[in-house]
Amino acid sequence: MAIFNEPLRYSLPEGDKPGVANPLGVFSRPRSETGLKDWLTTVDHKKIGIMYGSAAVFFMLIGGVAALLIRIQLATPNSNFLSADAYNQVYTMHGTIMIFLVVMPIGAAFANFLLPLQIGARDVAFPRINAFSFWCFFLGGLMLNSSWFLGGGADGGWFNYAPNNGVAYSPSHGIDFWNVGLLITGIASLSGAINLITTVLNMRAPGMDLMKMPIFVWMSLVTQFLLLFAIPVITVAQVLLLMDRVFDANFFNVEQGADPLLWQHLFWIFGHPEVYLMILPAFGIVSEVIPTFARKPIFGYPFMVFSGIAIGFMGFGVWAHHMFVSGIGPLSVTAFALSTMFIAVPTGVKILNWVATLWGGKLTLNTAMLFSIGLITQFTVGGLSGVTHAMAPSDTQQTDTYYIVAHFHYVLFGGALFGFMAGFYFWWPKVFGHMLNEKWGKWNFWTMVVGFNLTFGPMHILGLQGMPRRMQTYDDAMGFNLWNFWATVGSFILASGVLLFITNVFLSLYRWNKAGKPNPGPDPWDARTIEWSIQSPAPEHNFDYDPQIVSVDDFWHQKYAEDENGKLRKVAHGADIAQPGNGEGVHLPAPSYWPLLLAASLPLIGYGLIFSLWLTIPGGFLMVVSLYGWALEPADDLDLPHGHDDHKSDHAEIASTVNV
Amino acid sequence: MSNTATPSTEHESHDDHAHPTETQYWLVFLLLAVITAFEVLWSYLGFSGPALVVPLIVMMLVKFVIVAGVFMHLWFDMKMLNGKIFTMAFAAGIVVALAVYTTVVATFEFNV
Amino acid sequence: MSDAAVVAEQATDHVEDEHAGHATSLNLSNMKLAMWLFLGSECLLFGALISTYLLSKARFLTEILAGNPVVVDSISNPTLVEEMRAAGSVEPLFDIPFTSLSSFILLMSSLAMVLAHKAISEADYKNLRIWLGTTALLGSFFIAGQIAEFTAFKEEGLSFTGSLLGSAFFTLTGFHGIHVSGGIVMLMTLLVLSFKGKLNQDRAETVELVGLYWHFVDVVWVLIFTIVYLIP
């Protein structure tokens, strides 16, 4: 294991003095373990995971307000609550924020927090690059949202089709912000993907073969591979658009003979893997939650793994089903209709396996489990409407109607976000050391289920009635009034469901503080995977020693064994066999300013591209300085006492002299 | 890389496969240079259509494989424990790229 | 730019590669695995740029009217182009001998790079510096050639803003040029580190990683040379 066992074997190459803490003489090495400075400089994958999650929830509130504005506008016919221009911006930014700044980063939050814990590693492979990924995402997201105040947001739909995305049709800077902001979050995704793939492939605990990894790790691994290969494609599309908009190139200039279909192809080669990489982490989460609360191992572990891999591969072969009406020709349409129908198979395998896991299990219907079952049912509805899009003739009728809107909200909200909610309730004690309130949790769940289905269910009907997406308003006589009204009612119920969750977070914290901070113990759910074999909240050094992995659901098998009659018996309590959380002698990667500074240089360059190229000079300067500062700074601070850890800080001085 | 010094870190030791000698690197380079010369020559011989394109593509791929295999050490890493992973990571990118972009170009050709 | 940034981090990130030296699940170095994943991802990046170029080339001729700086649109003027070809009033845009020379130079820099890696893994620091310097120098020659070529094309009428073909050509080769330039910066950094005595045999992998990046940029040029320059 990379960061294990090595403090004193580790030798600096000649020429470096130990403790060269400020290579460029600018900063002394950050040492804080608490407070703002710690959060700004941390390289701890758990803190970074928490930051990913909190930032995503913050952006979710912005995207959610945008959603409510859309619904208010559409609640009544001929409404003028939002002007057509404002409406364009609001729905474009709603989609962009929810996809790039909410669903993807919540997936990244879970992956960051859980992957090292579930494979038995001390941190990710490149802790500083991990911090860099987070800051790129967060600053890129802030930059994208700064467009609200700097001339208006992007207004071409989340996919910003060419030539509508050109300066001629969208003269504000909105699309430039969209472009540059997403290029920056793309860097975050790409560097994160490289980092996490390396971590999963190379830093597993002894005995943890690939086929003994938890399903969540597998699904995240597939997700990161999808990012690895999909992000460069959108990067190129956005660079071409940037060249067009900022430097007068002609990539999408139809007068010059350009074919705007190129944008659609590049966008959807990225865009379809994108939808799978949004849902797969949620699939992984429910694949951990359901076995735990059904008290059964996951049904068909290898099928779950291989169907995930199959989804990953086939995800790159179906993109043109977004383009059935774009005139790509019957041959292409037929081929992509076929491949799209095939990709329903591995997804169906997963649904079947979850149901088979539930079947005959001793179900505990707590909030995490309810949200998981919510995912299965609602995702199935979305999946079935998805099959109707795979049929090209029927899709020709559905394209650009509310039927599509209903479909992707059922898979992404009813699927991905419900899965994430299950994950929040399930892993909250491991992250924060206290449980979320179950009673409020159930209210949260039922409010969200009712609100969600009332919002998006009627959109199926509206779509089949012919209501087009992205239209600012509709006429009284069109017959869309009734269901639009109820969808708006539903959206407010849904929003109050999300607020119930946020209330629950603070309420649970408050009650826990008042009750004298009782510790839920390492294993409150009698769970299956090894992140429950360490204390709650997870200690800073994760594992005291390398866990030795024997089987899938290794922690479960440490607790349960068959007796002589072949009957399953509990042989140990999780709390008794859990690692005590003693970080003595553990050497952790040191915090650093450079990831934040390097990430901060990117929006500066971005604003420069949009407003004045002069601004790219300080941005570029900051980038070069940060790169060299980073490269010349040792990843480890050798002056940092070994074994600093929240449980055993008093041992720090001794530990630094102990050979482990 | 043949066992000259004793590296202080372990990863040096399992890099210690029979990497080519300096002479071999020069020979490979000469081979690449000859292929490049042939490519240029071929483009001047006045062929057109497949007779021009197919040999050029073949020579291009041969050069690609030689650089990746010898200079980037993939042929030697393949013999190392799990060294195939490097080739697989790279090949995955190439295969996905070839598949999707060939399809894109093809959809522009067959759009009737 | 971003790619160069990531590479630079990885390439010069000494200590994280020290960690990688200890037992890992695959017995592979983290840094090297990460670099290969990054290169796999780069295939999609250059693939998209090359396809963009091919699609725009299908619509335009890479030939120019002799003395008349206009890129001919072969779709709207199919017969005109044939007539001009027959009359000999078009001449090829690309200067193949010149580009062949710069391709050869880039190929030679790959040889120098691999010899630099060999030198450091044998603790031969003198040759390490010679070959690192040679690689950077040859790379700079390549970039100089590219600048000369771009200037010539611009004078002959192929401009970035003037036509679709120009945009696609300059973006593709420009992206490659930025990658080469990033590589040169990394090589120069290694050279300085070596002169300061901070690049010894322990860090042979750092040189290897920069080498992987450098060779990758070279093979991308192998593709561009054939697809863009040799195949009309």
Whether A261 contacts chain B with CB within 8 A: yes
Q: How many CB atoms lie within 10 A of CB A438?
A: 15
**C 208-227: CB under 8 A from B:** 208, 211-212, 215-216, 218-219, 222-223, 225-227
Interchain pair C56, A190: CB under 8 A: no
Dihedral sign from CA coordinates of A504, A368, A289, A342: negative
Interchain pair C15, A636: CB under 8 A: yes
Number of H helices, E strands in chain A: 21, 2
Whether B7 contacts chain A with CB within 8 A: no
Please determine, for residue A344, whether its predicted confidence score (pLDDT) is greater than 80.
yes
- Residues A155, A86: Cα–Cα separation, whole Å: 8
The answer for residues whose C-beta is within 8 angstroms of residue C186's C-beta and 6 or more apart is C7, C8, C11, C12, C210, C213
Structure tokens at A198: 């390396």
- Residues A291, A212: Cα–Cα separation, whole Å: 15
- Residues C175, A585: Cα–Cα separation, whole Å: 47
Residue-wise pLDDT for A433-481, tens only, equals 999 999 999 999 999 999 999 999 999 999 999 999 999 999 999 999 9
Q: In this structure, what are the phi and psi dihedrals at residue B37, rounded to the nearest 5 degrees? A: -60, -40
Can you give the pLDDT at residue B47?
A: 85
- Report the greatest alpha carbon distance in chain A: 82
Please determine, for residue A647, whether its predicted confidence score (pLDDT) is greater than 60.
no
Q: How many CB atoms lie within 10 A of CB B111?
A: 16
Amino acid at C197: G
Can you give the pLDDT at residue C77?
A: 64
Q: Which helix (H) or strand (E) holds A656?
A: none
Q: Which residue of A has its CA nearest to C3?
A: A187
Structure tokens at A339: 């491949």
Please determine, for residue A122, whether its predicted confidence score (pLDDT) is greater than 50.
yes
In this prediction, residue A584 has a pLDDT band, given cuts at 50, 70 and 90, of confident
**Among partner residues C15, C18, C164, which is closest to A251 by beta-carbon distance?**
C164
Cβ atoms of A499 and A65 within 8 Å: the answer is no
In this prediction, residue A631 has a pLDDT band, given cuts at 50, 70 and 90, of confident
**A 545-604: CB under 8 A from C:** 598, 602
**How many Cβ pairs closer than 8 A exist between chain B and C?**
153
Contact residues, chain B, for A328 at CB < 8 Å: 107, 111
Least confident of A318-327, A361-370, A650-659: A650-659
How buried is A363 (Cβ within 10 angstroms: 0-12 exposed, 13-18 middle, 19+ buried)?
Answer: middle
**Among partner residues C55, C108, C231, which is closest to B53 by beta-carbon distance?**
C231
Residue-wise pLDDT for A376-435, tens only, equals 999 999 999 999 999 999 999 999 999 999 999 999 999 999 999 999 999 999 999 999
**Among partner residues B85, B93, B100, which is closest to A269 by beta-carbon distance?**
B100
In this prediction, residue A514 has a pLDDT band, given cuts at 50, 70 and 90, of very high
Q: Which whole number is the average pLDDT over A360-379? A: 96
- β-sheet bridge partners, residue C92: C63
Structure tokens at B109: 């050709």
Can you give the pLDDT at residue A654?
A: 29
Q: How many CA atoms lie within 13 A of C158 on its CB side?
A: 26
Amino acid at A494: L
Of C130, C30, C187, C36, give the one whose Cα is nearest residue B72.
Answer: C36
Please determine, for residue A158, whether its predicted confidence score (pLDDT) is greater than 70.
yes
What's the CA angle centered on A325, arms A322 and A327, to 5 degrees? Answer: 110
CA distance, residue C164 to nearest chain A CA (Å): 5
- Residues A321, A2: Cα–Cα separation, whole Å: 43
What's the CA angle centered on A176, arms A71 and A280, to 5 degrees? Answer: 60
Q: Which residue of A has its CA nearest to B99?
A: A317
Please determine, for residue A645, whether its predicted confidence score (pLDDT) is greater than 80.
no
Whether C167 contacts chain A with CB within 8 A: yes
Report the share of chain A in percent with pLDDT over 90.
81
Q: Which residue of A has its CA nearest to C5?
A: A627
Mutate to test the interface with B, among C103, C226, C227, C229 (most CBs of B within 10 A): C226
Of A345, A328, A311, give the one whose Cα is nearest residue A399.
Answer: A328
Cβ atoms of A192 and A227 within 8 Å: the answer is yes
Task: Domain count for chain B, please give it.
Answer: 1
Cβ atoms of A314 and A346 within 8 Å: the answer is yes
Residue-wise pLDDT for A257-287, tens only, equals 788 899 999 999 999 999 999 999 999 999 9
Whether B37 contacts chain A with CB within 8 A: no
Contact residues, chain A, for C23 at CB < 8 Å: 1
In a domain, B2, yes or no: no
Interchain pair A257, C200: CB under 8 A: no
- β-sheet bridge partners, residue C63: C92
The answer for residues whose C-beta is within 8 angstroms of residue A237's C-beta and 6 or more apart is A263, A266, A267, A270, C48
DSSP per-residue string spanning A590-608: PP-SHHHHHHHHHHHHHHH
Q: Which residue of B has its CA nearest to A12?
A: B8
Q: How many CB atoms lie within 10 A of CB A58?
A: 15
Interchain pair C15, A634: CB under 8 A: yes
Contact residues, chain B, for A233 at CB < 8 Å: 100
Residue-wise pLDDT for B35-94, tens only, equals 999 999 998 888 888 899 999 999 999 999 999 999 999 998 888 888 899 999 999 999
Contact residues, chain A, for C216 at CB < 8 Å: none
Amino acid at A67: A
User: Radius of gyration over alpha carbons of chain C, in Å?
Assistant: 21
Q: Which whole number is the average pLDDT over A335-347? A: 93
Structure tokens at A131: 């911090």
Whether B8 contacts chain A with CB within 8 A: yes
The answer for residues whose C-beta is within 8 angstroms of residue A36's C-beta and 6 or more apart is none
**C 36-65: CB under 8 A from B:** 36-37, 39-44, 46-48, 50-51, 54-55, 58
Contact residues, chain C, for A16 at CB < 8 Å: 198
Structure tokens at A239: 């660079």
Cβ atoms of A120 and A207 within 8 Å: the answer is no
**Among partner residues A225, A228, A332, which is closest to B107 by beta-carbon distance?**
A332
Interchain pair A13, C166: CB under 8 A: no
Please determine, for residue A36, whether its predicted confidence score (pLDDT) is greater than 60.
yes
Least confident of A239-253, A617-631, B97-111, C107-121: B97-111
Please tell me which residue, C82 or B8, carries the higher pLDDT value.
Answer: C82
Q: How far is CA A451 from CA A26, A93, A231, A312, A420, in A?
A: 53, 22, 33, 31, 17
Touching subunits of B (3+ CB pairs, under 8 Å) are A, C
A207: alpha, beta or left? (left if phi > 0; alpha if psi -120 to 50): left
Contact residues, chain C, for A635 at CB < 8 Å: 13-16, 18-19
**Among partner residues B8, B71, B108, which is closest to C114 by beta-carbon distance?**
B71
Can you give the pLDDT at residue A646?
A: 34
The answer for residues whose C-beta is within 8 angstroms of residue C40's C-beta and 6 or more apart is A228, A229, B89, B90, B91, B92, B93, B94
Contact residues, chain B, for A316 at CB < 8 Å: 96, 99-100
- Domain residue limits at B60: 10-109
In a domain, B77, yes or no: yes
CA distance, residue C150 to nearest chain A CA (Å): 16
Report the share of chain A in percent with pLDDT over 70.
91
Cβ atoms of A5 and A586 within 8 Å: the answer is no
- Residues A402, A410: Cα–Cα separation, whole Å: 12
Whether C36 contacts chain A with CB within 8 A: no
Q: How many CB atoms lie within 10 A of CB A616?
A: 17
Whether C117 contacts chain A with CB within 8 A: no
Can you give the pLDDT at residue A59?
A: 97
Q: Which whole number is the average pLDDT over A604-619? A: 94
Name residues of chain C where pLDDT drops below 50.
Answer: 1-22, 65-69
Structure tokens at A182: 């997403």
DSSP per-residue string spanning C48-106: HHHHHHHHHHTTEEEEEETTEEEEEETTT-HHHHHHHHHHT-EEESS-HHHHHHHHHHH
Interchain pair A259, B112: CB under 8 A: no
Amino acid at A91: Y
**Which domains, from first to last, does chain C contain?**
2-59+95-230 (1.20.120.80)
Amino acid at A144: L
CA distance, residue B8 to nearest chain C CA (Å): 7
Q: How far is CA C123 from CA A33, A99, A185, B4, C204, in A?
A: 41, 50, 41, 8, 9
Interchain pair B100, A316: CB under 8 A: yes
- Residues A103, A92: Cα–Cα separation, whole Å: 16
Whether C16 contacts chain B with CB within 8 A: no
Q: Which whole number is the average pLDDT over A314-324? A: 93
**Among partner residues C20, C29, C215, which is closest to B67 by beta-carbon distance?**
C215
Give me the residue spans of the domains in chain A: 43-581
- Report the greatest alpha carbon distance in chain C: 70
Contact residues, chain B, for A327 at CB < 8 Å: 111
Segments in A147-260 forming alpha helices (H): 174-202, 215-247
Q: How far is CA A300 from CA A310, A357, A378, A566, in A?
A: 15, 9, 22, 21
**C 126-155: CB under 8 A from B:** none
- Residues A361, A526: Cα–Cα separation, whole Å: 15
CATH of the domain spanning A43-581 = 1.20.210.10
β C68-73/C90-92 pair status: unpaired
The answer for residues whose C-beta is within 8 angstroms of residue A165's C-beta and 6 or more apart is A156, A175, A241, A245, A252, A263
Can you give the pLDDT at residue C200?
A: 87
Please determine, for residue A75, whether its predicted confidence score (pLDDT) is greater than 80.
yes
Averaged pLDDT score across all residues of chain A: 89
